């Protein structure tokens, strides 16, 4: 009851899967992926164990085709399943059981495969594939473009409810991901998913800044906080830290403007500013002074 795409980026080696469905929390059901191993989508009458079993097979050296065959042989209800696998080399395989409810089908290309069931028409998966092949940019942006194309071609017969995207790096540990986001229940989940992806980009910059602060590199950290705020200018958290970053960067007037905006939104940001240790955040004392307060109230 879903349309999805699994793919590998030939330039970066990143692996990803994205999905939309008129079903609650589709991401918890369909998507699976491991850095440097592969990505899987399991849908229709989904066998969730395929994620763990299939990725384990890929990790142990099977190709996508070999893993797909093994999963099919081990499932007595396989004709009710639809699933897809891409391995770390970009070999992509999909399966649509004969008992899947129409319109259902798949389209596999170089390093990716698109699959769908209970669609409004039988053009959805080919439209997804064509869009992915013709798009450029990051793997994340191309996966999102494929989902939008599927919806534009008709999408799920029942409408929209939830969506998810998972992108993992070419190398790393089982806990590593580049993007791992879900929209569990929303009238326009693809729009919401794009919003979350953008916000996630901003918070990754803020995470980088936090790490740089811990290393004592306040100048570079300030630039990261400022960049995060530029991506998500209405976010109080990112605006607060960008304000402190601007003060560190020698732009105190703009920094105080951002701090005042966050404090006006919620006075708790003022309390946090008072609590900050100037050893950890050198600009906090200056920020209080510029706000016309004494930093002796800490």
DSSP string, the chain: -EEEEEEE-TTT--EEEEEEESSTTHHHHHEEEETTTEEEEEEES--THHHHHHHHHHHTT--HHHHHHHHHHT-TTGGGEEEEEEETT--EEEEE-TTSPSS-EEEEETTEEEEESSBSSTTHHHHHHHHHHH--S-HHHHHHHHHHHHHHTT-BTT---EEEEEEE-SS--TT--SEEEEE-S-SSHHHHHHHHHHHHHHHHHHHHHHHHHHTT-HHHHHHHHHHHHHHSTT-HHHHHHHHHHHHHTT-HHHHHHHHHHHHHH-THHHHHHHH--TTT-THHHHHHHHTT--GGG-
Q: Give the list of residues 6+ apart from residue 236 with CB closer than 8 angstroms, or none.
A: 261, 262, 265, 266, 269
pTM of the full structure: 0.93
What six digits make up the tokens of 42? 């399991």
Which residue from 254, 252, 294 is spatially nearest to 273, judged by alpha carbons?
A: 294
For 277-286, what is each residue's pLDDT tens digit? 998 898 999 9
**What pLDDT does 262 receive?**
97
Percent of the chain having pLDDT more than 90?
A: 92
Task: Say if 131 falls within a structural domain.
Answer: yes
What is the mean pLDDT of the segment spanning 230-237? 96
**Domain identity same for 272 and 129:** no
Choosing from 145, 164, 187, the residue where a domain stops is 187
**Domain identity same for 159 and 240:** no
**What pLDDT does 294 receive?**
43
**Domain identity same for 117 and 54:** yes
The total number of structural domains in the chain stands at 2
Q: Kindly report which listed range (33-47, 87-101, 111-125, 205-219) carries the lowest average pLDDT score.
A: 205-219
**Domain identity same for 122 and 67:** yes
Angle between helices 139-152 and 189-214 (to 10 degrees): 170
**What pLDDT does 296 receive?**
41
Q: Kindly report which listed range (55-64, 156-165, 167-176, 245-254) carries the lowest average pLDDT score.
A: 245-254
What is the mean pLDDT of the segment spanning 29-57? 97
Choosing from 122, 155, 187, the residue where a domain stops is 187
Percent of the chain having pLDDT more than 70?
A: 98
What is the mean pLDDT of the segment spanning 192-197? 98
Query: Rounded CA gap, 170 and 9, in Å?
Result: 9
Asked if residue 1 has pLDDT above 90, the reply is no
Task: Say if 43 falls within a structural domain.
Answer: yes
CATH code for position 63: 3.60.20.10
**Domain identity same for 38 and 106:** yes
For 113-152, what is each residue's pLDDT tens digit? 999 999 999 999 999 999 999 999 999 999 999 999 999 9
Please say whether the beta carbons of 151 and 127 come within 8 A. Answer: no
**Domain identity same for 33 and 143:** yes
Which residue from 123, 121, 150 is spatially nearest to 41, judged by alpha carbons?
A: 150
**Domain identity same for 78 and 137:** yes
Asked if the peptide bond before residue 20 counts as cis, ω within 30 degrees of 0, the response is: no
What six digits make up the tokens of 82? 């639809």
Domain that holds residue 123: 2-187
Q: Tell me what the pLDDT averaged over the chain comes to.
A: 95
**Domain identity same for 211 and 183:** no
**Domain identity same for 142 and 275:** no
pLDDT tier at 292 (50, 70, 90 boundaries)?
A: confident
**What pLDDT does 297 receive?**
42
């Amino acid at each position: 009851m879903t349309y999805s795409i699994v793919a590998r980026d030939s330039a970066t080696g990143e692996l990803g899967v994205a999905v939309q469905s008129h079903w609650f929390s589709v991401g918890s059901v369909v998507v699976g992926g491991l850095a440097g191993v592969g990505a899987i989508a399991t849908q229709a009458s989904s066998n969730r164990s395929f994620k763990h079993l299939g990725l384990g097979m890929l990790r142990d050296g099977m190709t996508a085709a070999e893993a797909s065959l093994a999963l099919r042989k081990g499932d007595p209800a396989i004709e009710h399943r639809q699933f897809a696998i891409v391995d770390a080399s970009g070999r992509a395989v999909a399966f649509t059981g004969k008992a899947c409810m129409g319109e259902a089908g798949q389209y596999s290309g170089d390093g990716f495969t698109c699959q769908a069931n209970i669609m409004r028409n039988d053009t959805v998966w080919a439209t997804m594939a064509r869009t992915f092949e013709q798009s450029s940019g990051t793997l994340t942006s191309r996966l999102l473009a494929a989902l939008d194309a599927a919806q534009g071609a008709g999408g799920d017969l029942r409408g929209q409810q939830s969506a998810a995207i998972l992108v993992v790096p070419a190398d790393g540990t089982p806990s590593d991901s580049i993007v791992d986001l879900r929209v569990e229940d929303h009238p326009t989940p693809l729009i919401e998913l794009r919003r979350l992806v953008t916000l996630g980009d901003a918070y990754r910059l803020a995470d980088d800044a936090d790490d740089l602060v811990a290393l004592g590199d306040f100048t570079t950290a300030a630039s990261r906080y400022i960049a995060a705020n530029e991506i998500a200018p209405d976010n109080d958290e990112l605006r607060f830290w960008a304000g402190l970053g601007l003060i560190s960067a020698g732009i105190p007037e703009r920094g105080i403007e951002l701090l005042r905006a966050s404090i006006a939104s919620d006075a708790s940001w003022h309390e946090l500013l008072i609590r900050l240790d100037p050893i950890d955040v050198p600009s906090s004392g200056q920020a209080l002074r510029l706000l016309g307060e004494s930093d002796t109230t800490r």
